[in-house]
Amino acid sequence: MVDYETHEYDVIVIGAGGAGLRAAVESSATGAKTALICKSLLGKAHTVMAEGGIAAALGNVYEQDNWQVHFRDTMRGGKMLNNWRMAQIHAQEAPDRVRELEAWGALFDRTADGRILQRDFGGHRYARLAHVGDRTGLEMIRTLQQHAVHRGIDVYQECTITRLLKDGDAIAGAFGYWRETGRFVVYRAKAVILATGGLCKLFAINSNSWEGTGDGHALAAWAGADMIDMEFVQFHPTGMVWPLSVRGILVTEGVRGDGGTLRNRDQEQFMFNYIPPMFAAETADTIEEADRWYTDKVNARRTPNLLPRDEVARAINSEVKAGRGSPHGGVFLDIASRRDADYIQRRLPSMYHQFKQLADVDITKDAMEVGPTAHYAMGGVRVDAETTATTVPGLFAAGEVAGGMHGSNRLGGNSLSDLLVFGRRAGLYAAEYANAMPNLPGLNGTDVDTAAEEATAPFDNTGRENPYSIHHDMQDSMQELVGIIRKEDELGEARERLQSFRERSRHLRVDGNRQFNPGWHLSLDLRTMLTVADLITQGATLRKESRGGHTRDDYPGPDTHFGTVNIVQRWTPDGAVAREEPLPQMPHELAALFEGDSHADSAS
């Protein structure tokens, strides 16, 4: 018999970033007994790293902006693969979610008439991102955190969930361990909300914290939920590249939104050479027009520096490959020669601080060196657009762990708004589901025993494999073979290597005991990462085209057939099983917004 403590709730929320906090607030407000469980301390989730802002068509800077324009930008940014209904709900509800955050204490930068200021960002037609300098994520998480703790929500910090528990087909709770003591804990719950964020710790160069190990993706897959669009991983075009120790750390798109431009070794503004047909009609093709656009959005077209992230990341990759990169294998991002020092320090204080302290670069005087970094998973758990319900009864998902909203590529700023819009909906509908249920689902003791056994298994091994080395090797393999540019034979090799990592991970050696032991924690995270790596690699193999965050060297253009389907995966004891499903069709009045567009299918 395993020793564990038990807690009972109507709704538990796993993950305490923006989506988890917002979900917990909403669930608790319905009267549902709600718990929030997080892997780190409260307020440290990866949301804290978000820099640029929250995309919402408030229309404070350009009154022409509205939800239809935001919806259109989002769909086009995702190369039309998005779940249209999610993109619509997101665009419609984001402004209210931002205003609500302000009423809870967030202090956004202001317009001259005292309203919330909005900034330019890639792929957004109008200045749309509500922001606080370049530390918007910190503002958002702290505001939600302070609001949540005053609602009396129970918070379980530094507690990692390793398995979801079910009663028959439906969700029944979750199993996990306390990081501090290594002791086990069972949460019995009527509904579970996954808000675990992303998975980019799979890649060697990434912008994520230690938590981004795809826990929620794997937990849902193991519980039998449908996964969608897993092949789409966003490589943010601008991560730091030097010094090596900071490689991957994010440089906000706000640098380009506020006037910065990308240059190659020859000082050429190379983005003008990479304007795809899909965006040609609304993108400036001369430096003069692009520079004028910053102050005249009516008569000038937007700078190609602010094309969607997938386009910019591919362009940087091409420049570096062609030998026109910067000394440390990136390109230059220059705002120093384009804006005065006061402006830069006021608009981008964290970037100034980050480069000064970590790289010895004064961004008001010198150009930054930047390159692509694994940043965000577009794919995730398949959810119902209205309710965020997954295909497992009682299991809901919101934020990065959920798939569909962003299609094949997410626009900057659409993540924070996604967290708020669908975090709230997850809380609301999970609570509705739970409140309609008279009793807690049953607890299957055998499942708890199994979960406990697999959690302690790394201590029982007799092998000599170091979990840190396996993780390191897996990151290199994913980066090299399933990274920005992919092809058939390399994906095949990636699958073989994943098999060897799985084999090695059966022979781990873990030092020490169960008390706050990162080596043990990582050995458990390896299980989630290997599962998620399988899903991504399989999806990437099946999608024989290039679109958004998925670029195939052997299929360089978009494909008409693949432009009409999502790849849906389900986990089985023998691994992932995939199928194609047609995209949901949007109603005429929304489809009309795209009339006359050059579609992704015909774009090169």
Catalytic residue numbers?
236, 256
Task: Give the interface segment with other proteins, choosing from 46-54, 266-274, 309-317, 437-445 (CB under 8 A).
Answer: 46-54
Site for other proteins, residues 303 to 332, rule: CB under 8 A: none
Place of tokens 């990136």: 330
Q: Which of 94, 127, 155, 397 binds other proteins (CB under 8 A)?
A: 155
Let me know if 41 is exposed, middle or buried by CB neighbors in 10 A (0-12, 13-18, 19+). Answer: exposed
Q: For residue 84, state whether it binds other proteins (rule: CB under 8 A).
A: no
Check residue 492 for interaction with other proteins (CB under 8 A).
Answer: no
298 touches other proteins (CB under 8 A): no
Listed residue (431, 426, 420, 427) closest to 93, CA to CA? 420
Chain positions 106 to 135 lying near other proteins, rule: CB under 8 A, are 107, 109-110, 113-116, 132-133, 135
Give the integer Cα–Cα distance in Å for 112 and 302.
Answer: 23
Backbone angles phi, psi at 244, to 5 degrees: -55, -35
- Residue 499 binds other proteins (CB under 8 A): no
Contact between 236 and other proteins by CB under 8 A: the answer reads no
- For residue 372, give both structure tokens: 């692509």
Given CA atoms 392, 393, 399, 402 in this order, what sign does their dihedral have? positive
Half-sphere exposure of residue 451, counting CA atoms within 13 Å on the CB side?
Answer: 28
> Does residue 397 touch other proteins according to CB under 8 A?
no
Question: Quick one: 38 or 165, whose CB is closer to other proteins?
Answer: 38
User: Where do the DSSP E strands lie in 71-211?
Assistant: 118-119, 129-130, 154-156, 159-167, 170-178, 184-194
Closest distance to other proteins from the beta carbon of 289 (Å): 30
Closer residue to other proteins, CB minimum distance, 211 or 231: 211
| Binding region for other proteins (CB under 8 A) out of 2-10, 353-361, 385-393, 578-586 | 353-361
**Contact characters 164-193, other proteins, x per CB under 8 A:** ----------------x-------------
Collapsing DSSP to helix, strand or coil, 534 comes out as: helix
Q: Which residues contact 353 (CB under 8 A, 6 or more apart)?
A: none
Q: Which of 8, 102, 154, 476 binds other proteins (CB under 8 A)?
A: 102
In the complex, the smallest distance separating the C-beta of residue 336 from other proteins, rounded to whole angstroms, is 21
146 binds other proteins (CB under 8 A): yes
CB of 458 to other proteins, least distance (A): 11
- Closer to other proteins by CB, 17 or 441: give it: 17
Convert residues 197-226 into a mask of x (bound to other proteins by CB under 8 A) and - (unbound): ------------xxx---------------
**CA atoms of 261 and 561, how far apart (whole Å):** 36
Residue of 474, 597, 582, 462 whose CA lies nearest to 528: 474
Q: State whether residue 60 is helix, strand or coil.
A: coil
* Residue 583 DSSP class: P
Number of residues that bind other proteins (CB under 8 A): 68
- Nearer to other proteins by Cβ, of 176 and 182: the residue is 182
Residue 318: CB atoms within 10 A of its CB come to 14
Which 421-480 residues touch other proteins, going by CB under 8 A? 466-469, 472
* Region of 397 on the Ramachandran plot (φ > 0 left; ψ -120 to 50 alpha; else beta): beta
- The span from the first CA to the last CA of the chain, in angstroms, equals 60
Q: Which of residues 500-539 bind other proteins (CB under 8 A)?
A: 509-513, 515-520
Residue of 194, 249, 378, 491 interacting with other proteins (CB under 8 A): 249
* 3-state per-residue secondary structure call for 417-463: HHHHHHHHHHHHHHHHHHHCCCCCCCCCHHHHHHHHHHHHHHHHCCC
Which one among 149, 457, 565, 590 touches other proteins, defined by CB under 8 A? 149
d(CA 604, CA 602): 6
Q: Which is nearer to other proteins, 252 or 264 (CB)?
A: 252
Select from 36-44, 84-92, 412-420, 492-500 the region that touches other proteins (CB under 8 A).
36-44
Binding residue (CB under 8 A) for other proteins from 22, 33, 44, 314: 44
Contacts with other proteins by CB under 8 A lie at 40-46, 48-49, 60, 99, 102-105, 107, 109-110, 113-116, 132-133, 135, 137-139, 142, 145-146, 149-150, 155, 157, 180, 209-211, 242-246, 249-250, 350, 353-354, 357-359, 466-469, 472, 509-513, 515-520
